[in-house]
């Protein structure tokens, strides 16, 4: 089954990026959010990104209009009734995701695949809130979606081979490199590797071993990573780093290595969340 019309639930950082890349691939997209101001905010981000591509000569102005013309922004979930696949990108909150999946399950045709962009949560548990757990999987894009190449395709306990095949095919048509996460395990591949490196970086600063700037400089020049951990957290959201760490701690046997450093908790309490506030570690 070829996906011609995609539903995206949540028009925030990830949702609008997913909608943009799908529309660039030629898909029609229905992008929903709870309030029109969030939908409009998402559309403005897409317009701004495409506008820059036109300025740089990477995209034709007519093509920009055609891409935007393929995206319909809405607050009416009923507009998802004729989409071929849905990607959910609401906040990283399990109860919210379960309630969104229940609603989308009632709204969409029975053969439609429902994918979640969760960074860490259980695909199996999200799938259990629907009547089609075989058609639920993880489709984990990275931020910023138009630029990051990877999508993790995650199998829940009941996910069918066909669901994995169709979702992988869609991600590859969107120009992404895919990997299959064969077991529904917290943090999947990338976050399971990334979080301990964030935690260690924060502990190094907390223990007075090195400054934030020097940790980032060390990681960029010594490991050849494009960004240091603090720069990366500022970009992706310190709140997300915190929530994912807490989730991994609870799900992975409460091992000490997943305990959030006090400095991370202080950042959250101070409201310096990186992308949300413009103020983070830097």
Ligand X SMILES: NC(=O)c1ccc[n+]([C@@H]2O[C@H](COP(=O)([O-])OP(=O)(O)OC[C@H]3O[C@@H](n4cnc5c(N)ncnc54)[C@H](O)[C@@H]3O)[C@@H](O)[C@H]2O)c1
Q: Within 202-231, which residues bind ligand X (CB under 6 A)?
A: none
By CB under 6 A, tell whether 195 contacts ligand X. Answer: no
Give the shortest CB-251-to-ligand X separation in angstroms: 15
By CB under 6 A, tell whether 80 contacts ligand X. Answer: no
As beta bridge partners, residue 154 has 138, 181
Structure tokens at 263: 């400095």
Do the Cβ atoms of 32 and 7 come closer than 8 Å?
yes
By CB under 6 A, tell whether 129 contacts ligand X. Answer: no
Residues serving a catalytic function are 119, 140, 152, 191
By CB under 6 A, tell whether 241 contacts ligand X. Answer: no
By CB under 6 A, tell whether 12 contacts ligand X. Answer: yes
Q: Which is nearer to ligand X, 133 or 274 (CB)?
A: 274
Selected range binding ligand X among 84-92, 161-169, 205-213, 262-270, rule: CB under 6 A: 84-92
Q: Which is nearer to ligand X, 98 or 210 (CB)?
A: 98
Site string for ligand X, 93-112 (x = CB under 6 A): ---x---x------------
Q: Is 271 exposed, middle or buried (0-12, 13-18, 19+ CB in 10 A)?
A: exposed
By CB under 6 A, tell whether 191 contacts ligand X. Answer: no
Among 6, 8, 13, 219, which residue interacts with ligand X (rule: CB under 6 A)? 13
Give the shortest CB-162-to-ligand X separation in angstroms: 24
């Amino acid at each position: 089954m070829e996906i011609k019309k995609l539903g995206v639930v949540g028009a925030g950082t990830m949702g609008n990026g997913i909608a943009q890349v799908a529309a660039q691939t030629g898909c029609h997209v229905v992008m929903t959010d709870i309030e029109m101001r969030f939908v409009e905010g998402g559309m403005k981000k897409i317009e701004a990104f495409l506008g820059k591509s036109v300025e740089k000569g990477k995209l034709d102005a007519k093509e920009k209009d055609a891409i935007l013309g393929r995206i319909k922004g809405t607050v009416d979930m009923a507009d998802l009734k004729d989409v071929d696949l849905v990607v959910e990108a609401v906040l990283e909150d399990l109860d919210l995701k379960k309630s969104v999946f229940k609603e989308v399950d009632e709204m969409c045709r029975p053969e439609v695949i429902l994918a979640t962009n969760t960074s860490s949560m259980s695909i199996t548990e999200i799938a259990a809130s629907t009547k089609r757990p075989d058609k639920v999987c993880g489709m984990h894009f990275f931020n910023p979606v138009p630029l990051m190449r990877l999508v993790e395709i995650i199998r829940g306990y009941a996910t069918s081979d066909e669901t994995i095949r169709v979702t992988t095919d869609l991600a590859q048509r969107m120009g992404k490199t895919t990997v299959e996460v064969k077991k529904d395990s917290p943090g999947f591949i990338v976050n399971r590797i990334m979080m301990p490196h964030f935690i260690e970086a924060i502990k190094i600063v907390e223990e007075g071993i090195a400054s934030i700037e020097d940790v980032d400089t060390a990681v960029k020049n010594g490991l050849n990573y494009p960004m240091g951990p603090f720069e990366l957290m500022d970009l992706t959201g310190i709140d997300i780093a915190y929530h994912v760490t807490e989730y991994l701690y609870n799900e992975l046997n409460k091992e000490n290595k997943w305990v959030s450093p006090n400095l991370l908790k202080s950042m959250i309490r101070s409201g310096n969340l990186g992308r949300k506030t413009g103020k983070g570690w830097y």
